[in-house]
Amino acid sequence: MLERTLVQSAGFRNTGEEGARSGFELRLRLPSYRGLRASLVDGVDVVVDGEEFGHEANRYLIGDAEFTLDQLREAADVRWPMDEAGVVRIARAGGLAPGVHEVTVRVRIQQSYIPIEFQPSVFVESRYATVVQP
């Protein structure tokens, strides 16, 4: 089972070679009551300790496939199931310092049955999460 928070504790880590980190990633529970086709997910803004990483530049891993935002918006045949975490990959030279960070996500979802004026629905959550390895 997944954690109840959107951002999962496990999987918050630096990416790239140790000593030359290129960024970090986090695992995310879908903020919905159902699974979604990937094209209905309009990206995720991530804020770490006040530093903003907008949804346009982040990359998204659903199942085994990685998507840019534009690719995600076209991925109408890819499903993000409720019981699987997706991964948000963020570019940041050097990655994050080991230790506890304040992490906020803004997950943007297109819901066909809500008037377009109110879309995308943005689900916001903040938590502390810990990077263990440099």
Partner 1 sequence: MSPAFKYGVSLYSFTDDFGTVMTLEDSVAAIADLGATGIEILGEGHVGGYPETSAAWIDNWFTLLDKYKLEPTNYGAWIDTRLYRTRKMTAQQGAADLARDLRLAARLGFRYVRPKIGVVSFDLVPDPIWEEAIERCLDLAHELDIVICPEIHAPTPIRHPVVESYIEFIERTKTKNFGLLIDTGIFQDRPLPYFPGETPEMRRDFLDGIKVPPKDFLAIAQYVVFIQAKFHAIDETLTDANIPWESIVPMLKQAGYSGYLSSEYEGERSPWRALEQVRRQHALIRKLEREYDARLKQEGDAK
Positions that interact with partner 1 (CB under 8 A): 1-4, 29, 33-37, 39-40, 73-74, 76, 79, 81-83, 110-119, 124
Q: Provide the 3-class DSSP secondary structure of residue 89.
A: strand
Closest CA to 44 of 112, 125, 129, 115: 125
For partner 1, the closer of residues 84 and 92 by Cβ is 84
Least CB distance to partner 1 at residue 32 (A):
8
The DSSP output letter for 71 is H
Least CB distance to partner 1 at residue 120 (A):
10
Least CB distance to partner 1 at residue 133 (A):
26
Q: Are 120 and 42 in contact (CB under 8 A)?
A: yes
Least CB distance to partner 1 at residue 16 (A):
31
From the number of C-beta atoms within 10 Å of its C-beta (0-12, 13-18, 19+), residue 55 rates as buried
The span from the CA of 80 to the CA of 87, in Å, is 11
For partner 1, the closer of residues 10 and 114 by Cβ is 114
For partner 1, the closer of residues 15 and 126 by Cβ is 126
